[in-house]
Chain A
């Protein structure tokens, strides 16, 4: 009976007919479908509000609202997040080679990248709240510009924070020897989440910061 109990705790494995991947990976992929649709809902709301702005409350141009330096800072932040995603690939590569020491170092770099991203975002939010967005509202622009900004980047920042905690948990498990070179699937699943957070940021960054209200040449 004890052996059976143990198998309950670990969860049953794949059956005779399967998709050739672990249960956990299907779980993460299907979770990401759900998460992607959550972002899709918020992004669709953003698009509707932005491109349906009334004439007396126009959407401000991101370039004016954030300033050139602001957009450059966030572009740097995007670069940091993409790098962190690349580091995550190295974690898996080193783990597959059986080089757990190197894998842990890459994982630390991944976590560090996520923390830098969050730090810069916190700095940016503080700056925007104190200095910038008041001016946007005063200029008679659509007040949903800051509202959608906080909702989208905040929701994404929450995902980054969860990812940092998730990866830290993975690091601890590696240090304690619970995740060894045999458990590549565990790392892969964590990586799926981390790459997804990166991918969604590309969309959020493009929508919120890059697409201009007045396209060049118009």
Chain B
């Protein structure tokens, strides 16, 4: 057995692990080092992302042509959209951000590790069993067919009398526990473990976004848990519990209120870390400080607060009072203001900058362009009268995919490419990185853009079959999705191949332009990140300040 040669935090800790591969792997799986846990999260998220992608391909194969294509039994198809959403939201996007943040946040604030390392490891290890529980119906051939929203009465024991649904609900509760544990850990870390000089308004915006996201997770996730608890009781003991059953004096709309009280903030849980991450990427590759730093931080808080006040815009067609709907419409449209502040601040950051088009920057630019489309279609959906027409059509599907694929997923790619040299100490293959970007950017639009049109013309979402007039558009969307999926396999292959064969990365790999603390330690970082506690030289953001006239680039060490 040859000796394991790895640098920094990748190197084996114990003598035994230096020569034995199994001891080395065991050391990884039981490590409380936030960096290693971050990599575990990312590996898990990659696996679940491919799983969710396969489910979406099955959906697209079925929809490629009018009539039956792949599934003889429509009920098999009915399970897929919900499971695809569950896999992508709870097991891909959220863990992927948690993974990146686990690696980056402690270093960015100058801390040796997270505040509760063992809690961190526990939070990760809840996830694989949670995934197994959520999708256990695959082994029992009893999949829940009520979408990812699980509205009663469809999801109660009369209409969804399958055991797989109970496993699904239990799995979601476990995911909630895991992400809450991670959120508590991030807040304690960021509030209490900053190095000297790292005041709250010196924090990198990615770290700021984790503060806001963690509060969102803490306040929103338990409400979903409470709704799922009630649903479980109603499913398990239908004779005694009737929370959502009108026949027993309950209220089915109550579930929707509780569900969306979580699930609307959840979309900000899935995009705010991306916002923070993009701010880092754009500032590095434009060689300019982020424009309007304080406002960027405050606008994230504004989005978080408003995010709690808009949940009923998912429920315009449930018969709630018109006055209430108009109020929610107003608040929903208000979110476009802080989001607009962010978009324009990114543009202003690039303005006059020295822009370099590396893969992370390409993804950042693609994100800004296409997330804006998703944002605008969101404003369309926010208006009550239009939404009544578009509710539960493919317009909503197009909107959510522009926000989550062009939004969250592209920011995850930007972040992974951006920090890949730091995480692995190797450089990814630039050519295939760019190929991955162009395939993603082009075929994302091929897949999803026509779905706006289908929705406006009235094609409902989640259905097994559709009117023949939509056949050509669905065929285009399906072929687009196949190429999009293959493009993601290029990404995974590139990262794995480069980890072994890539050239060595420098400490401050991106032209020496990284200004946050992670770029001032070796790539990959050592165990405990810093050999001596770092001291952050505060960035002076007043442009007229004599020490830093407009445009001067901050350097941590000079």
Question: A interface vs B, CB < 8 Å?
Answer: 1, 4-5, 8, 11-12, 14-19, 21-24, 26-27, 30-31, 33-35, 37-38, 40-42, 44-45, 48-49, 52-54, 57, 142-144, 146-148, 150-151, 155
In angstroms, Cα B15 to Cα A1, docked, is 11
Residues of chain A contacted by B113 (CB below 8 angstroms): 8, 11-12
Q: How far is the CB of A37 from chain B (nearest CB, A)?
A: 4
A23 vs B196: C-alpha distance when bound (angstroms): 17
Is B1 positioned at the interface, with any CB of A under 8 Å from its CB? no
Q: Which residue of B lies closest to A48 (CB)?
A: B254
Say yes or no: is B465 at the interface (Cβ < 8 Å to chain A): no
28 contacts between A and B (CB under 8 A): A11-B113, A11-B115, A11-B117, A12-B193, A14-B192, A15-B194, A15-B195, A15-B198, A16-B196, A27-B116, A27-B119, A35-B222, A37-B218, A37-B219, A41-B223, A41-B224, A41-B227, A45-B226, A45-B243, A49-B249, A52-B251, A52-B254, A54-B246, A54-B249, A142-B248, A143-B240, A150-B240, A151-B243
| Complex interface bits, B173-210 against A, C-beta within 8 A gives 1, otherwise 0 | 00000001001110111011111111100000000000
Q: Are A49's CB and B195's CB within 8 A?
A: no
Complex alpha-carbon distance, A40 and B221, angstroms: 12
CB contacts (< 8 Å) of B188 on chain A: these are 23-24, 26-27, 30
State whether A38 touches B111 (Cβ < 8 A): no
Q: Tell me how far the C-beta of A55 lies from the nearest C-beta in chain B, rounded to whole angstroms.
A: 11
> In the assembly, what is the distance between CA of A148 and CA of B234, in Å?
11
A47 to B, closest residue via Cβ: B254
Q: Is B300 an interface residue (CB 8 A)?
A: no
Docked-complex contact B192 and A23, CB < 8 angstroms? yes
Given contacts A37-B218, A41-B227, contact A144 B249 (CB under 8 A): yes
- Of the four ranges (under 10, 10 to 19, 20 to 34, 35 or more), the interface on chain B belongs to 35 or more
Chain A residues, Cβ within 8 Å of B180: 31, 34
Interface flag for B225 (CB, 8 Å): yes
Chain A interface SS verdict (over half) = helix
CB-contact partner of B226 in A15, A23, A38, A53, under 8 A: A38
Binding site for A on B (CB under 8 A): 13, 32-33, 109-119, 180, 183-185, 187-189, 191-199, 214-215, 218-227, 229-230, 233, 240-243, 246, 248-251, 254, 257-258, 261, 527-528, 533, 535
Contact flag A49-B194 (CB < 8 Å), given A8-B32, A8-B113, A30-B187: no
Closest-CB distance, B211 to chain A (whole angstroms): 11
Which residues of B are found within 8 Å of A21, using beta-carbon distances? 192
- Given the interface pairs A26-B187, A48-B251, A144-B250, the reply to whether A12 lies near B111 with Cβ below 8 Å is yes
B242 in contact with A34 (CB, 8 Å)? no
Distance in Å: Cβ of A58 to nearest Cβ of chain B = 9
Q: What residues on B are CB-neighbors of A45 within 8 Å?
A: 226-227, 230, 243, 254, 258
- 9 closest A-B pairs by CB: A41-B226, A142-B249, A38-B222, A17-B194, A16-B196, A15-B193, A41-B223, A57-B249, A23-B115
Closest residue of chain B to A21, judged by CB?
A: B192
Other than A11-B115, A31-B180, A41-B258, give 14 A-B pairs with Cβ distance below 8 A: A12-B113, A14-B192, A16-B533, A18-B194, A23-B189, A26-B187, A27-B116, A30-B183, A37-B223, A38-B226, A48-B257, A49-B250, A49-B254, A147-B242
- B192's partner among A19, A41, A143 (CB-CB below 8 A) is A19
In the complex, what residues of B have CB within 8 A of residue A18's CB?
A: 191-194
Residues of B within 8 A of A17 (CB): 194-199
A35 CA to B187 CA, complexed, in Å? 16
Partner of A147, one of B184, B243, B246, B251: B243
Residue of A nearest to B221 (CB): A34
Whether B116 contacts A11 by the Cβ 8 Å rule is yes
Note all chain B residues with C-beta closer than 8 A to A26. 115, 187-188, 191-192
In Å, the complex CA distance between A18 and B257 comes to 38
Closest to B257 in A: A48
Given A12-B112, A31-B184, CB of A151 within 8 Å of CB of B233: yes
Closest Cβ of chain B: how far from A52's Cβ, in Å?
6
CB atoms of A33 and B195 under 8 A apart:
no
Q: Is the CB of B109 within 8 A of A15?
A: yes
Who on chain B is nearest to A54 by CB?
B249
Cβ of A142: which chain B residues have Cβ within 8 Å of it? 248-249
Which residues of chain B are near A155, meaning CB under 8 Å? 229
Rounded to whole angstroms, the CA-CA distance of A12 and B112 in the bound complex is: 7
Q: How far is the CA of A148 from the CA of B222 in the complex (A)?
A: 17
Across the interface, name the chain B residue whose C-beta is closest to A56: B249
* A30 and B184 contact, CB distance less than 8 A: yes
B243 to chain A, nearest CB (A): 6
Is the Cβ of A23 less than 8 Å from the Cβ of B116?
yes
Interface contact A148-B218, CB-CB below 8 Å: no
Task: Provide the bound-state CA to CA distance between A24 and B192, in Å.
Answer: 10
Please give the distance in Å from A16's CB to the nearest CB on chain B.
4
User: Which A residues are CB-close (under 8 A) to B114?
Assistant: 12
Is B230 a contact of A151 with CB atoms below 8 Å? yes
Contact indicator B117/A41 (Cβ below 8 Å) = no
Asked whether B223 lies within 8 Å of A19 as measured between CB atoms, the reply is no
**A21-B192, A49-B250 given; A44·B258 CB < 8 A:** yes
Taking CB as reference atom, which chain B residue is nearest A33? B218
Return chain B residues, CB-CB under 8 Å to A54. Answer: 246, 249
A135 to B528, CA, bound (A): 64
When the two chains form their complex, are residues A49 and B251 in contact, meaning their CB atoms are under 8 A apart?
yes
* Interchain CA distance A15-B241 in the complex, whole Å: 49
Tell me which residues across on chain A come within 8 A of B118, comparing CB atoms. Answer: 11
Please name all residues of chain A whose beta carbon is closer than 8 Å to the beta carbon of B197 when the two chains form the complex: 16-17
Which A residues are in CB contact (< 8 Å) with B221? 34, 37
Give the Cβ gap from A32 to chain B, nearest Cβ, in Å. 9
Q: How far is the CA of A146 from the CA of B197 in the complex (A)?
A: 56
Q: What residues of B have a CB within 8 angstroms of the CB of A41 in the complex?
A: 222-227, 258, 261
Residues of B within 8 Å of A1, CB to CB, are 13
B249 adjacent to A53 (CB under 8 Å): yes
User: What residues on A are CB-neighbors of B185 within 8 Å?
Assistant: 27
Q: Contact between B225 and A4 (Cβ–Cβ < 8 Å)?
A: no
Greatest chain A CB density within 10 A among B110, B195, B226, B233 is at B226
Whether A143 touches B242, Cβ cut-off 8 Å, given contacts A17-B197, A34-B180, A34-B221, is: yes
Q: How far is the CA of A31 from the CA of B119 in the complex (A)?
A: 12
The minimal Cβ–Cβ distance linking B24 to chain A, given in whole angstroms, is: 16
How far is the CB of A129 from the nearest CB of chain B, in Å? 10
Contact A14 B116 (CB under 8 A): no
Q: Do A15 and B192 touch (CB < 8 A)?
A: yes
Query: What's the minimum C-beta distance from B529 to chain A, rounded to whole angstroms?
Result: 10
B155 to chain A, nearest CB (A): 16
